């Protein structure tokens, strides 16, 4: 089984570090599955007051919005076990802990190119990837004394997935991710790519800042990480995926992921090498499409691998909004926000990040060819 190292995470700050040879944490995001040594995978069975049955669907009726909530579905409030549900879980998914969230509206699908175009047309907004990286701002995020990267790196750019023609060692994602001048939401795969016929595809190459700007304009906000996970579970208790526990490649197609050998050969069994239209695969129990696979989705929260430990308590925690400050041991100087849901580059044998509990992080200025977002709105 090939080891697959994909996804990633790098904004200008991470790139500056890489370009100047400081270190390459920016390329290490999706790592192999492994069971954390200190916490047994079944620990959630001990969580007080929570049903342990896995994949049991609660009675849920899909409730679509209208007017200001058109295109959204109602996510009823409730209490659930947040975190690890399988032996593929990583340390940052532990401990599984009780979380209560109030009800909210959520976009039924990822924000599309057509929707984002409307926002840009109305506001003249310029996304992060369309602006020249600001070295003065980047300097605040990198270790003191980091030299300024060459001018050739500090141009409006974004990260494009560029598969090699054959197998390559999987220890260096620079072999398939390219910092590409002219790549942005209008040109997701580089300057020669476009959005013709892709109105209903998810907008990508948007930073966290871009996503927040869109959400404000739309009268919405980004979901908290807890809201996102509760919604992704779609009314199922302790299931691994939005559809239950059946592996992603078993049975009928359920999500857009990577099939074949990464990063050079994608069998496209699900029909897509890149992103898919936002409603291409069946919705989960709440009527949410593609909470697993397709593109990563930004959440509001800062990322911290130990956050669950800090909020875990017998009575549970209500409407958690994430830690006050972020920390990523792989890149301690770069603040990062949470991303959820996995992407078309995630593969079951490696990262399996389309699991509902899987967590990802990227600096708020990062745009990627496989990352977008969706919004929520209070009652």
Distance between CA atoms of residues 288 and 232, nearest Å = 7
Binding mask 342-371 for Ca ion (x = CB under 5 A): --x---------------------------
Q: How far is the CB of 333 from Ca ion (least distance, A)?
A: 34
Q: How far is the CB of 128 from Ca ion (least distance, A)?
A: 26
Nearer to Ca ion, 224 or 256 (CB): 256
Distance between CA atoms of residues 250 and 172, nearest Å = 30
The helix-helix angle for 113-123 and 208-217 (nearest 10°) equals: 70
Residue of 272, 286, 302, 350 interacting with Ca ion (CB under 5 A): 272
339 near Cu ion, rule: CB under 5 A: no
Q: In what order do the strands lie in the sheet with 371-372?
A: 359-362, 337-340, 296-302, 371-372
Q: How far is the CB of 268 from Ca ion (least distance, A)?
A: 6
Q: How far is the CB of 371 from Cu ion (least distance, A)?
A: 11
CB atoms within 10 A of CB 216: 14
At 68 the three-state DSSP class reads: helix
Indicate the length of the chain as a whole number: 379
Q: Which helix (H) or strand (E) holds 97?
A: strand 97-101
Q: How far is the CB of 174 from Ca ion (least distance, A)?
A: 23
9 near Cu ion, rule: CB under 5 A: no
302, two tokens: 């800062």
207 near Cu ion, rule: CB under 5 A: no
DSSP string covering 269-302: TTS-SS---TTSS---TTS---SSBSSEEEEEEE
Q: Check if the beta carbon of residue 111 is closer than 8 Å to that of residue 294.
A: no
Nearer to Cu ion, 237 or 249 (CB): 249
Q: Check if the beta carbon of residue 341 is closer than 8 Å to that of residue 297.
A: yes
User: Beta strands of 130-256 (E only): which ranges?
Assistant: 157-161, 177-181, 236-237
Nearer to Ca ion, 142 or 295 (CB): 295
Binding mask 347-366 for Cu ion (x = CB under 5 A): ----x-x-------------
Q: How far is the CB of 82 from Ca ion (least distance, A)?
A: 28
Residue of 346, 356, 362, 376 interacting with Cu ion (CB under 5 A): 346
161 near Ca ion, rule: CB under 5 A: no
Only one of the segments 25-33, 45-53, 146-154, 319-327 lies at the binding site for Cu ion (rule: CB under 5 A); that segment is 25-33
270 near Ca ion, rule: CB under 5 A: yes
- Site for Ca ion, rule CB under 5 A: 256, 270, 272, 344
């Amino acid at each position: 089984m090939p080891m697959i190292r994909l996804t990633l995470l790098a904004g200008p700050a991470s790139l500056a570090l890489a370009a100047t040879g400081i270190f390459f944490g920016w390329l290490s995001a999706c790592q192999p599955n492994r069971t954390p040594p200190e916490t047994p995978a079944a620990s959630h069975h001990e969580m007080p007051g929570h049903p342990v049955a896995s994949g049991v669907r609660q009675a849920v009726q899909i409730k679509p919005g209208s007017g200001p909530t058109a295109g959204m579905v109602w996510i009823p409030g409730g209490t659930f076990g947040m975190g690890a549900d399988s032996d593929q879980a990583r340390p940052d998914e532990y401990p599984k802990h009780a979380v209560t969230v109030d009800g909210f509206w959520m976009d039924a699908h990822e924000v599309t190119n057509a929707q984002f175009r409307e926002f840009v047309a109305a506001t003249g907004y310029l996304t992060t990837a369309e602006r020249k990286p600001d070295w003065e701002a980047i300097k605040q995020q990198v270790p003191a004394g980091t030299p300024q990267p060459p001018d050739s790196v500090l141009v409006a750019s974004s990260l494009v997935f560029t598969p090699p023609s054959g197998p390559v060692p999987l220890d260096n994602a620079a072999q398939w991710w390219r910092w590409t001048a002219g790549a942005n939401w209008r040109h997701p795969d580089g300057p020669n790519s476009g959005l013709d016929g892709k109105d209903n595809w998810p907008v990508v190459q948007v930073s966290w800042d871009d996503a927040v700007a869109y959400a404000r304009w739309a009268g919405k906000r980004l979901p908290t990480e807890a809201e996102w996970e509760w919604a992704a579970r779609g009314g199922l208790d302790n299931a691994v995926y939005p559809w239950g526990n059946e592996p992603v490649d078993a049975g009928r197609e359920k999500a857009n992921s990577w099939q074949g050998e990464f990063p050079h050969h994608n069998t496209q069994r699900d029909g897509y090498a890149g992103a898919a239209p936002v409603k291409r695969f069946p919705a989960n129990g709440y009527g949410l499409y593609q909470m697993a696979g397709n593109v990563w989705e930004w959440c509001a929260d800062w990322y911290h691998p130990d956050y669950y430990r800090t909020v875990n308590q017998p009575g549970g925690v209500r409407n958690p909004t994430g830690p006050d400050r972020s920390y990523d041991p792989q890149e301690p100087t770069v603040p990062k926000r949470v991303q959820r849901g996995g992407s078309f580059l995630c593969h079951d044998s490696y990262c399996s990040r389309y699991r509902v509990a899987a967590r990802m992080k990227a600096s708020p200025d990062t745009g990627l060819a496989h990352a977008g977002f969706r919004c929520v709105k209070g009652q």
